[in-house]
Amino acid sequence: MQETERSALIQAFLATWELFPEPVSLLDRSRTILAINALGRRFGMSIGDKCFSLNPEAHGASCRTCRANEALDRREAVIKPDLFRGQDIQAYWVPLPGHDDCYIHFAIGVKAVAESLAGK
């Protein structure tokens, strides 16, 4: 992806997801984080990291429940109930139109679990 295209993609991501009330990341097929919303940054996510590096339960180059390749290959969103620190969450992998190797990833319920663990 050319730098101008990447920059435009990141700006569109931030315009859409910056204030979403769960951590959200824009990633490429290699699981490299390209952009993160405000809550994701607050929770310690960093641009350039591999997303699976944030998960202590990851195996190899992805998390055991990752559906990114499925979403990218099928070119449609994949939604999967999952567990985060023993709590139910709903995880989403959403491919981007016009960007065959990029997707959005987030899970509904992560913020509440993280805040409860932090005693908030």
* Full pLDDT tens readout for the chain, 120 residues: 799 999 999 999 999 999 999 999 999 999 999 999 999 999 889 999 998 887 766 677 778 889 999 999 999 999 999 988 888 999 999 999 999 999 999 999 998 887 776 666
Tokens 């908030």 found at = 120
pLDDT at site 65: 87
Task: Give domain limits for the chain.
Answer: 3-117
pLDDT at site 40: 94
**Architecture of the domain whose range is 3-117:** 2-Layer Sandwich (3.30)
Percent helix / strand / coil, the chain, rounded to 5 = 30, 35, 35
- Rounded to whole angstroms, how far apart are CA atoms 52 and 21? 21
